[in-house]
Chain A
Amino acid sequence: MSKILIRGAKVLGGEPQDVLIDGATIAEVGTGLSADGAEVVEAGGKVLLPGLVDLHTHLREPGREDSETVLTGTRAAASGGYTNVFAMANTFPVADTAGVVEQVWRLGRESGYCDVQPIGAVTVGLEGAKLAELGAMHESAAGVTVFSDDGKCVHDAVIMRRALEYVKAFDGVVAQHAQEPRLTEGAQMNEGVVSAELGLGGWPAVAEESVIARDVLLAEHVGSRVHICHLSTAGSVEIVRWAKSRGIDVTAEVTPHHLLLTDELVRSYNPVYKVNPPLRTERDVLALREALADGTIDIVATDHAPHPHEDKDCEWAAAAMGMVGLETALSVVQETMVETGLLDWAGVADRMSVKPARIGQATGHGRPVSAGEPANLTLVDTEYRGRVDPAGFASRSRNTPYEGRELPGRVTHTWLRGKATLVDGKLT
């Protein structure tokens, strides 16, 4: 296979170095490396990161190919600097059997833009009543280790307990969408000052926090690990911080949009801001940033949730919940975490590649940028500033809350095991 020399890249934001890729592997990292026989990419001070890993992506296939397919979703992932995405189970049919997870896994391999690791449903049909065949999904070709009913909460305490226990047999992890269903009946947005004024059904923070509190205690009781999806409130941060201090094996993720946007935006009644969990307050946003910086929150996960235009071009109550995020995630993290001084680029690599790969047991991803490692890499022009133009998205859907917003940073190159999937900002 061919050689590629990335010249003058700030590896994890450090001093400029050269990185030589030989085939699927990083051959050498150093200064003044020979370009002999290699295709040269002049990095010119751009930042080189390990390929990003997203533990929370909705690829919509099978079932909602009008909003995204595995192919378009992985193209969006490559555009955003990702080399591995975990595909959520709330497809049609639900990914609750070995057959469906193998289908998604196979489609991922065929796409070639990004590794796709299917997530299996915890319960049959996401209905929260009966455990899906978790072992069968684990033993399938897809090798599922992360299980989630995301979109719905595993609200029954006994089912959650059993799931946490059961997956220990094969070192799996349950990723919980924490949302107490009774407290969120008819909920449309964060419950607080803005919902009171707008007359939209309130989604109280306690609906998330009470489930997280229960689940970390359950995890402690049965000695399991638990992962919390898209943590969105300051109170949730406090509970996870407490659980970690107690030695409970809990990890947590935050989405880019919860690091940047607040419920004030809902005043526009524009459903592009409608998302589950809902946008919260400024105080929550600041607590989430702080928690991501200090490690209470382990990772950034996009919760990339594509929806067709008609599902957002309507009144708020009728609109679907969710936002696309793969192609803007790194820019939002740069804006909210790097430019605020809360994280350096090594920290970004840790939160967006190393740790998510570890939680999801994604072999070959989230590895150091050093000789002998798989060449899963992302090159970022951190000096770039530009307005978000959804027309340029690789995703099939355009439901971004950032349209027209100026954001820093742009992924220019992505390599998946030495094969370029993105060159100069263009998909290969």
Chain B
Amino acid sequence: MQRHLISAADLTRDDAVLILDTAEEMARVADRPIKKLPTLRGRTVVNLFFEDSTRTRISFEAAEKRLSADVINFTAKGSSVSKGESLKDTAQTLEAMGVDAVVIRHGASGAPYRLATSGWIDAAVVNAGDGTHQHPTQALLDAFTMRRRLVGRDAGLGKDLDGRRITLVGDILHSRVARSNVDLLHTLGAEVTLVAPPTLLPVGVETWPCEVSYDLDSTLPKSDAVMLLRVQRERMNAAFFPTEREYSRRYGLDGERMAKMPDHAIVMHPGPMVRGMEITAEVADSDRCTAVEQVTNGVSIRMAVLYLLLGGNEPAVTHARTSEEK
């Protein structure tokens, strides 16, 4: 493990499997009457959220609290940031209060990378989603969910997703979830196919380690998991597709389409879902849809990441920020 978690592309196969295995251990904590580990007692983690994202923030907060960390939540709205304070000054201000890790969500692609590499602060940085770049813990929790469902909870330990066929459908262009998933799933040996209208695929996607298709129906029978990405209605106004209904007809998953998937195949969604757009209520509420499970798994994954970055006994976790050394 490295000192920061910025991009899913930075994880080796062994790193990723270690995180997934650790997350399985963390999941067991949730089954205990007292869902807490003392691992990060005395360590302070700040959730630095420049974008509204209640679900991701709460997931991190739950993970931090279960590891007994002291948690500070910082949201940009109404803070000094809205008065024009720079990212650098905000981060330095928080670090001056003695934080050990910064979990950052930012609208600008690369903001967590800048925070981790510019020498502004010493704390470990965890990317909780940056612009349209990366959202590595989302990819990890998705992989965790796939491994549990497709390989098995116990049988999956130590294993990757070798040969599993994963299809991602929707707004790839604006999706950090898609980028993170393509990177991580490729590392874990899965075969990834992206399905979207050509307008919602980035120029340059041809170099990504995955297949690209414009046709959902032909892809479904060859999928072990189908992940639907949220499509924002506003995209329509920029001519990415003509109407919500047309998008839904061509790329939305309904019961009829779901029936074309193999019996064991699962439907995934990172949330929040736009029911009636990319997914019908019938599919969203079916047993095959793992959306709620993904939320649960998100806490375990985030516990695992924070544990390995801050409290784990891996030799590579050299994080020891001491004011004496400064």
Contacts and interface: CB of A to CB of B under 8 A. Distances in A.
Interface of A: 188, 191-200, 202, 204, 268-270, 310, 313-318
B87 A196 contact: no
Interface in B156-180: 176, 179
A196 B204 contact: yes
A192 B203 contact: yes
A199 B87 contact: no
B230 interface: no
Contacts of A268: 117
Contacts of A318: 86-87, 108
Interface residues on B, range: 20 to 34
Interface stretch (B41-49, B131-139, B261-269, B271-279): B131-139
Contacts of A196: 202-205, 207-208
B106 interface: yes
Nearest to B106: A315
Contacts of B88: 313-314
B114 A315 contact: yes
Interface in B89-120: 106-111, 113-114, 117-118
A199 B205 CA distance: 11
Contacts of A197: 179, 204, 208
A317 B204 contact: no
A316 B111 CA distance: 7
Contacts of B113: 269
A65 B223 CA distance: 60
A199 B179 contact: yes
B114 A199 contact: no
A323 B204 CA distance: 26
Nearest to B113: A269
Given A197-B179, A269-B114, A317 B203 contact: no
Interface of B: 86-88, 106-111, 113-114, 117-118, 130-134, 176, 179, 202-205, 207-208
Contacts of A192: 203-204
Given A269-B117, A310-B86, A314-B88, 10 more contacts: A195-B203, A196-B202, A196-B203, A199-B133, A204-B203, A313-B118, A314-B86, A314-B87, A315-B108, A317-B107
B117 to A, nearest CB: 8
B110 A200 contact: yes
Contacts of B106: 315
A90 to B, nearest CB: 23
A317 B179 contact: no
B8 to A, nearest CB: 12
Contacts of B176: 199
A315 B87 contact: yes
Nearest to B86: A314
B204 A200 contact: no
B130 to A, nearest CB: 8
A202 B203 contact: yes
Contacts of B205: 196
B291 to A, nearest CB: 24
A47 to B, nearest CB: 39
Contacts of B110: 198-200, 269, 315-317
The 4 closest A-B pairs by CB, nearest first: A196-B204, A269-B110, A199-B133, A199-B132
Contacts of B108: 315-318
B6 to A, nearest CB: 10
A198 B109 contact: yes
Nearest to B203: A191
Contacts of B202: 195-196, 202
Nearest to A317: B108
Nearest to B182: A197
Contacts of B111: 315-317
B87 A200 contact: no
A257 to B, nearest CB: 20
Contacts of B132: 199-200
A199 to B, nearest CB: 3
A419 B168 CA distance: 68
Contacts of A202: 202-203
B134 A199 contact: yes
B133 A198 contact: yes
A310 B85 CA distance: 11
Instruction: Name the residue among A191, A204, A317 with the largest chain B CB count within 10 angstroms.
Output: A317
Contacts of A315: 87, 106, 108, 110-111, 114
Nearest to A266: B110
A353 B113 CA distance: 42
Contacts of B207: 193, 196
Contacts of A188: 109
B203 A199 contact: no
A317 B86 contact: no
Contact of B109 (A191, A200, A204): A200
25 contacts: A191-B203, A191-B204, A195-B203, A196-B204, A196-B205, A196-B207, A198-B110, A199-B134, A199-B179, A200-B109, A200-B131, A200-B133, A202-B202, A202-B203, A204-B203, A268-B117, A269-B113, A310-B86, A313-B86, A314-B114, A317-B107, A317-B109, A317-B111, A318-B87, A318-B108
Nearest to A310: B86
